[in-house]
Amino acid sequence: MDQTKSRDLLDRARQTIPGGVNSPVRAFTSVESAPPFIVRGDGAYLEDADGHRYIDYVGSWGPLILGHAHPRVLAAITEAAGRGTSFGAPTEGEVALAEKVCEVFPSVEMVRLVNSGTEATMSAVRVARGVTGRDKFVKFVGCYHGHGDGFLIEAGSGLATHGVPSSPGVPASTAADTLTAPYNDLQATRALFDQNPEGIAAVIVEPVAGNMGCVPPREGYLEGLRALCTERGAVLIFDEVMSGFRCGPQSAQGRFGVTPDLTTFGKVIGGGLPVGAYGGKAEFMSQVSPAGPIYQAGTLSGNPIAVAAGLAVLEELYSDPSNFDRLETGMDELATGLEAAAAAAGVAYHVQRVGSMGCGYFSEEWVYDFDDARRCDADAFHTFHTAMLERGVYLAPSPFEAFFLSLAHGPEEISHTLTAAKEAFAAVAAKTATR
């Protein structure tokens, strides 16, 4: 596959941007091709600088649940931009988006808009610390909550892809307040509480882990975390930056029937534009400045263009109750077809999915935590990824990332993907045989 222009752009970018990219996993260093430099997106498709067209299963890492350049979203952005791009002052759009989030999520009584998922998770932990008067928090090995210092301990996603278990620049004192346990291991979490009585402010968890692929919670796991936090006076935070709106109409918390104290949201509520939010119980959120003493601020928080795009996405998504069924049915069809193609080629592979997010693992064993994910065949993934890219299917360049379906993906796109997968799995089988 000719990547002349993309490779030239990467070389050029490396002169002024660390590694040539503005987020590490985009570098494609763990797979066999250069990162395609994207010039446009339309519906379920991307086009790169070399003129290649791909069916996109990354969707800007999840938020493009309607697909690229949806007409309703573009119209909202255009109208908002015509009134001004930024004010640093309150707007009606902020109020409307906040009302929509609170309407959709019974657990969210008040919400604060921020600029990214990272800001949302950092702020939610700060609120938890502020209302409990405690410093430590629990996160789970392989769960990624953005690049805040306290979260870069045993994180998944890009850190795992690039072989970095933590990050230089994180002070030891900060790391000491981050307690880690394996995902899906309730007993290990209880042991941390026993070892730190009265010291844990919060438990933050991806209710469906999306940074070690797609790992659903074991039966009773989320319920157990809820009970443990209630028992020990800690705040339960659901990080739904990735699972938000992907797992159903009320996201993972609605699907599994577990109510967190605080929830964080990411790019979906901005239609793919830079935005995030955190919200939850009014008794906690009313402690956030200026209503209370817990400080958090942002000049661009509630940017008028971002909130207009986000409101357009949510209004379109909820305009038809069957949209979530369509997404889930499409994911089931895709997953079943991929597994059948792998089996026909004699390749150990299965798909784990919840709603419209999923991940294919090169393993016969079910993945319950990050150690399970790391035992999967990374070499097979690399071969598969390259073969799919060459056949016009764009997947995340890491075995620890999820793939996403949008409402723009129809039978034609799924059929093309499965045809490409048959050839890609054959390539994996051939390469594996020569090891």
Polymer length of the chain: 435
- The predicted model gives 150-166 an average pLDDT of 53
Q: Is 144 a catalytic residue?
A: yes
pLDDT one-digit tens code per residue, 106-127? 999 999 999 999 999 999 999 9
| Predicted pLDDT at 170 | 76
Topology (CATH) of 71-317: Aspartate Aminotransferase; domain 2 (3.40.640)
Query: Where exactly are the structural domains of the chain?
Result: 4-68+321-433, 71-317
Spatial neighbors of 151 by CB under 8 A, at least 6 apart, are 118, 121, 122, 139, 144, 145, 178
Q: Which tokens sit at 425? A: 């799995």
Going by DSSP bridges, is the β-strand pair 235-239/276-280 parallel, antiparallel, or unpaired? unpaired
Question: Of 197 and 409, which is predicted with more confidence?
Answer: 409
How confident is the model at residue 159, as a pLDDT? 44
Q: Round to whole Å and give the CA distance between 183 and 189.
A: 9
pLDDT interval class at 167 (50, 70, 90): low
Give every CB contact of residue 159 below 8 A, 6+ residues apart in sequence: 144, 152, 165, 166, 167
User: Of 177, 267, 349, 394, which residue is the catalytic one?
Assistant: 267
Which positions ≥6 away from 76 have C-beta within 8 Å? 271, 308, 309, 311, 312
Burial 35-65 (b: 16+ CB within 10 A, else e): bbbbeebebbbbbbbbebebbbbbbbbbbbb
Catalytic residue among 177, 239, 261, 369: 239
pLDDT of residue 25: 83
Query: Which of these is catalytic: 45, 54, 57, 144?
Result: 144
Find how far residue 368's CA is from the centre of its chain.
Answer: 18
pLDDT at 406: 98
Q: Which position has the higher pLDDT, 153 or 3?
A: 3
Cα–Cα distance, 236 to 229 (Å, whole number): 6
The tens digit of pLDDT for each residue in 299-319 reads 999 999 999 999 999 999 999
Task: Find the mean pLDDT for residues 133-139.
Answer: 95
* Percentage of residues in the chain having pLDDT higher than 90: 86
Tell me the pLDDT of the chain averaged across its residues.
93
Nearest to 113 by CA among 243, 261, 304: 304
Is the model's pLDDT at 86 over the cut of 50? yes
100 counts as catalytic: no
Please determine, for residue 2, whether its predicted confidence score (pLDDT) is greater than 50: yes
Report how far residue 188's alpha carbon sits from residue 181's, in angstroms, rounded to the nearest whole number: 6
- Whether 33 shows a pLDDT value over 90: the answer reads no
Q: What is the pLDDT of residues 311-353, one digit of tens each?
A: 999 999 999 989 999 999 999 999 999 999 999 999 999 999 9
Q: pLDDT band at residue 186, thresholds of 50, 70 and 90? A: very high
Specify the pLDDT at position 163: 37
pLDDT of 329: 98
Cis peptide before 63 (omega within 30 of 0): no
Q: Is it the case that residue 252 has pLDDT exceeding 80? A: yes
| Domain 4-68+321-433 identical in fold to domain 71-317 | no
User: Is the pLDDT reported for residue 160 higher than 90?
Assistant: no
Confidence of residue 365 (pLDDT cuts 50, 70, 90): very high
Q: Averaged over 183-196, what is the pLDDT? A: 96
Neighbours of 21 (CB within 10 A): 17
Name which of 249, 251, 276 is nearest 264 in CA terms: 276
* Mean pLDDT to the nearest integer, 225-237: 98
pLDDT at 157 over 60: no
Q: In what order do the strands lie in the sheet with 393-394?
A: 38-42, 45-48, 53-56, 393-394
Instruction: Find the mean pLDDT for residues 194-199.
Output: 92
How confident is the model at residue 322, as a pLDDT?
Answer: 97
Does the pLDDT of residue 140 top 90, yes or no?
A: yes
Which residue has tokens 């039978």?
Answer: 411
Residue that is written with structure tokens 């071969």 in the block: 383
Beta strand spans in 122-228 (E): 136-141, 178-182, 200-205
User: Looking at the predicted structure, is the pLDDT value of residue 405 above 90?
Assistant: yes
**Token couple for 15:** 């002169």
Q: Is the pLDDT of residue 267 over 90?
A: no
Indicate if 368 belongs to the active site: no
Using CA atoms, how far apart are residues 139 and 392, in angstroms rounded to an integer?
37
Lowest mean pLDDT, pick from 169-173, 359-363, 397-401: 169-173
Tell me what pLDDT residue 77 has: 97
Check if CATH label 3.40.50.720 holds for domain 4-68+321-433.
no
